[in-house]
Amino acid sequence: MSTRHDRNFFSFDSVEQLDASNMNFTPGPPSFYLGTWQDTVKFYKRVNRLFTDFNISRGGTEDAVDMTGSSDNTLKRFTIQQAGDQYVLTLKGGSYNNRFIDWNIGVPPETVDIEIGNWSSSSQEPSPGNFFQNWQHQDGQPITYCYRFFGCKPTFRDIKVKHLWWRSIGLTVYWWAKYLWHVVLRQPDN
């Protein structure tokens, strides 16, 4: 349905069904020739995988980590030195029952740390049952989050969190507007 694709520094997609550990992602600064990365690491249609000990030096213009259509994965011991401009982590379309454990965030994003349930042209399914444990900012500030109402509420343990409810309302309205436009009225992305 979508004619646009994210520019990712590194992508795990459904082709290689492997676990991964001890990975460092150090994208260089944006340049005129290479452009910019929207997401530093993308997980697309990953099922029942284990990803441990990732170090991401900086996020892209959108996210440090983007997950779409992925379920039952464990992402453990991630260090995000500098978040993406928008989010540390965004979970989209059908990303459910994932576990995100022991994440350490250096420089936070400008908007919100965790966003759950945003629009994805590849799947309009909700993203329920995601679990977060032991996340922290290096400066001690709470982890901020928002989620699409109706099927995307996360569970937190051992984390000081702050729900940005006005962003959740905005995300929910945005998702329904995209759904009506692209699914009901069948208008393509530009």
pLDDT in tens, 34-89: 557 889 899 998 889 999 999 999 888 899 999 999 999 999 999 999 998 899 99
Which range is least confidently modeled, 25-29, 48-52, 93-97, 148-152? Answer: 25-29
Model confidence band, residue 1 (pLDDT cutoffs 50, 70, 90):
very low
Q: How many CB atoms lie within 10 A of CB 123?
A: 16
168 CB-contact burial (10 Å; exposed 0-12 / middle 13-18 / buried 19+): buried
Average pLDDT, the chain: 88
Contact between 108 and 136 (Cβ < 8 Å): no
Q: 132 or 26: whose pLDDT is higher?
A: 132
Mean pLDDT on 107-131:
92
Mean pLDDT on 125-152:
95
d(CA 190, CA 181): 12
Mean pLDDT on 13-41:
74
Model confidence band, residue 30 (pLDDT cutoffs 50, 70, 90):
low
Task: Check residue 2 and give its pLDDT.
Answer: 40
d(CA 112, CA 96): 20
Q: 17 or 113: whose pLDDT is higher?
A: 113
| Domain range annotation of the chain | 8-25+32-184
Task: Check residue 73 and give its pLDDT.
Answer: 94
d(CA 43, CA 157): 23
**Length in residues, the chain:** 190
Q: Among 152, 186, 137, which Cα is nearest to 67's?
A: 152
